[in-house]
Amino acid sequence: MSIAKTVLHKFVGYLEAQASELIWKPRCSATIAWEQSQGISAKDKTSKYTGPRGDWSQGYGYITHDGFSATIVAQSQVLDRTATGGWCTEEFGLSSDADHVRVLRGLQQNEEKEALRQQHQARRLQQKKEKEALRQQHRLVVARLKEILSSLKETKPRYRPAFDTDASFPLQERHQVQPPPVPGPPTTQIGPLCLSPGEAASMRVVQDTHVDNSTPRVLYSDGSLLNSGTLEVSQAFGVVDLTQDNPLTVQGRTDGHASSAKAELMGLLAAVLSAPPEQDIVVKLDNQSVVERYSRLVKNRRDTLPRKRFRSTYAGIWAVLWQVVESRPGRVEVVWIKGHSNIHGNELADQAAKVAAQSGSVPWMADLTQQTDITTFAHCYGGIVEIDLRQLLKQQSTIRHHQAWTSQRRVKRAIPDIDDVEWNSTLAYVHDRHAVFTFYNNSKDSHQRTHHIKKLHGMLPTLNSMQVRKPNLYPTCVCRRCELEKEDNDHVWKCPSAAETTTEIWKEAMGKINEWGVQATNSYNAARKREYKRAVDRGRQVPRPVPIHWWPPSDADHVRGFSSIGGARAVHSGSPAPDRDEKPMWNVSDLLRGITPLSMLTEWSAVFRTPMSIAKTVLHKFVGYLEAQASELIWKPRCSATIAWEQTQGISAKDKTSKYTGPRGDWSQGYGYITHDGFSATIVAQSQVLDRTATGGWCTEEFGL
Ligand SMILES: [Zn+2]
C-alpha cells in the first residue's frame, strides 16, 4: 500500500503542477485580455460593490444545477471578500491591473518597514557605541593591570619581606637586624645558632652520626621554664637521640621573652640542627601549641597569611626554623606526644632541660639575619621585641596613662596610698561589676560608672565645690544635713547625721560575712578539686587537695581584722572608740567609697586563717556591700536634702548648669576637699577643665531623683 501511495502521490502531484502551469495560467491570461477589452481594471475588481448581487444559486466556484441553500449563500458572502480579485498576480506574479493596488500597498508597507529599519539601525548604532565605550574602558583597565603586574614582578619576589624596604618606615634605619651581641664567653655558631663551644661539641656528636633513611630518626625534645614571673627566670631545653648505642643529649639555655613556648621552640630548632642534614627526622615533643604553630608557620608557611607569619610571638625564630627546614635535604616532621606518660625519650629530654635550666650556661641565640622572610625587627631597651609589636605598644601606653594618672594631685589626695589598693576589686566596683574594658551600654550604666569614678577621685559635686564654681548661687556651703560643718567630699561620709546609718550598714555587712565566707570556701574547694582532676588526667602526680573549712570569726577577730582602718572600731561598736594607729592611712569613708585596701586584706587573711583568695572574695563582697548601701542610704538622701534646700533658695537645675562668668570663689578652698594647705595654680587650672564634666544636675542624673 505504501509504495502505491507514494507512486499515486507523485502522479497526482505532477498532474496538479502541470495543470496549474498549462491550463490555469493560459486561462488567466486569456481572461485578463478579455477583461481589458471590456474595460475592467484590477482596481474595479477589488473595489467594494454595493449594488444588488447576482443570483448566488449560480454557485461559488462551480456552476451547479441544484442551487444553493440560503445559509450557504450567506456563508459565501462572507468568504467572498477574501477571494476577490488580484489573486492572479499575487499568486503567480503575473502583471495585471492588480499591480497598482499591490504597489500602493507595497509602498505603504515599505514606508513602515523603512521607519522600523531606521529605528533598528539607530538602536544598533547606540548599542555599538556603548559596546565600544565598554571595550575602551576594559582595554584601559587591562593595560593598567598589566603595568602594575609587570612592575610587581620586577621589584618584589613572590614571598616578600615583612616590610617593603622602599616604603617609608622610619624605624628601618636604626633598627635593621643586627647580629646578636656576642656575650662575654666565647661562642660558636652552628647554622643560625650561637652557643657555647662545649654545647656545640655535643651537637656535633649527633651531627656526625651515620645517616640511615630506611626509617626516619626519632628525636625527643622538651623545654623547661623555671622561676617564671621572677627576675631569676630561666628557660632551657633538652634534645635526646636514642637511636645510637648510647643516648645522645643536647641541652642549653635561652633568654629573651620568657615562656615555655620559647624553650620548646629553641629545643625544636636545636633538634633539627643537631641531626645530620640528610637524615629524615621526626621530632616528638609534648607541647601541643608548638606543634600546631609548627604546621602553620613552618610546614604550611607558604599558605599562611603575612599577619600570622610576622606578628606571631617569636616570629623571627620561626622564620629561622623555616629556613633551616627548607634548606636541609632530609625531611622533618613534628609530632605531639603526651607528656609525663613514661615515654623514655621524653623523660630524658625533660630531665636534660631541667638540668640545663639550673645551670649557668651561656644562653643560646638564634641569628635572625640567617632568614630572609622578615627583614626588620623592633628593639626595645636593648632587647629584641619577640611579642607582637602592637601588643607592646598598647602595654606602653597603658603604663604611660597609669603614670600620668597616679601623679595627679587630685588622685594623690583622694587615694592615700595607690600601692595599698586591691585594684581588681576596686575597679570591679568602679565599673559597676562589668569588665573594665566594656563600653557603657545605656545611660544608667554610664551614670553609675560616672558616679563611682567621681567618688573614687573625691570629685562628687559637694557644696564646697558648687560654691567655688558659682558663688552667686551659693552664699554658703554648710552641710544641709547636719547644718554644722562645711560640706566637702570627706564630710559626705563623715557627717554626724550619717553616723547611725553607717553603723547600720556596717552591722548588716558584718552579719553577711559568714554567708560570703562559706560561699567563697565552697567555690575554692571546688576549684582545687577541678585542678586536681585536670592534673591527674594529664598524668601528673599531685597530692589530693584537703578541703578547707570556714571557721566563723569571733567579734574579737573582726576587730583585729579591721583595726588598721580609722574609725572602724567606733562604727563597729556604735560609740566613740580609739583607733589602733595614730594616723591611720585608710578610713571607713574610704571603704564607703568602694576602695579595698591591700593591708586590710592581709590582716583579714590572717584572722580568717584561710587562703588569701578566700579572704579577697569576702573582703570584696564586704566593701561592695558598704559601697552600694552608702550610695543608697547616705548619698541619695544627702542629694534629696540638698535639692530641697536649693529649691528654698530658688536655685533651679537650669541655674546650676548655666554658664557663670563672674569672679570665682577661692580655689584654695579646694576641689572636692576642703584642705588647709591650698592648691597650686596648675591644679586650679586643671580643676577648671574638669569642672565642665562635673557641673550640676548630678543628683538627678546619677540616681534618677
Ligand atoms: Zn553634715
> DSSP per residue over 322-374, as a string?
HHHHHHSSS-EEEEE--TTS--HHHHHHHHHHHHHHHS-PPEEEE-GGG-SS-
> Pick from 298, 321, 325, 320: which is nearest to 370 by CA?
320
Handedness of CA 557, 562, 566, 571 (dihedral sign): negative
User: What residues have a C-beta under 5 A from ligand 1, the ion?
Assistant: 479, 481-482, 495
Distance of CA 577 from the midpoint of ligand 1 (Å): 20
Cross-strand partners of 379: 384
Distance of CA 629 from the midpoint of ligand 1 (Å): 18
- Residue 376 scores a pLDDT above 50: yes
- Residue 67 scores a pLDDT above 60: no
In whole angstroms, what is the distance from residue 349 CA to residue 239 CA?
5
Predicted confidence (pLDDT) per residue in 279-298, tens digit:
999 999 999 999 999 999 99
Distance of CA 630 from the midpoint of ligand 1 (Å): 15
> DSSP per residue over 586-642, as a string?
EEHHHHHTT--BHHHHHHHHHHHTS-HHHHHHHHHHHHHHHHHHHIIIIIHHHHHHH
Say which range, 5-14, 165-174, 475-484, 618-627, has the weakest mean pLDDT.
Answer: 165-174
Distance of CA 478 from the midpoint of ligand 1 (Å): 8
- Classified as helix, coil or strand, 251 is strand
Predicted confidence (pLDDT) per residue in 556-610, tens digit:
888 888 888 988 888 888 888 888 888 888 999 999 999 999 999 998 888 888 8
Distance of CA 620 from the midpoint of ligand 1 (Å): 28
Q: For residue 645, which amino acid is it? A: W
Per-residue cell: 126: 547606540
Distance of CA 488 from the midpoint of ligand 1 (Å): 9
Q: How far apart are the first and last CA of the chain?
A: 112
ipTM: 0.95
Predicted confidence (pLDDT) per residue in 538-561, tens digit:
777 888 888 988 988 888 888 888
Q: Which residue has the cell 652520626?
A: 209
Q: Helices 612-630 and 499-537, interaxial angle, to 10°?
A: 150
Residue 136, C-beta contacts closer than 8 angstroms, at least 6 positions apart:
none
State residue 235's pLDDT score. 93
Distance of CA 50 from the midpoint of ligand 1 (Å): 123
State residue 301's pLDDT score. 92
Distance of CA 463 from the midpoint of ligand 1 (Å): 11
* Sequence ranges of the domains in the chain: 1-41, 175-387, 410-703
Does the domain at 175-387 match CATH 3.30.420.10? Answer given as yes
DSSP 8-state class, residue 644: H
Predicted confidence (pLDDT) per residue in 177-214, tens digit:
555 555 566 778 888 888 888 888 999 998 998 888 89
Predicted confidence (pLDDT) per residue in 341-355, tens digit:
888 999 999 999 999
Question: What mean pLDDT is predicted for residues 622-645?
Answer: 93
> Pick from 702, 625, 681, 675: which is nearest to 412 by CA?
675
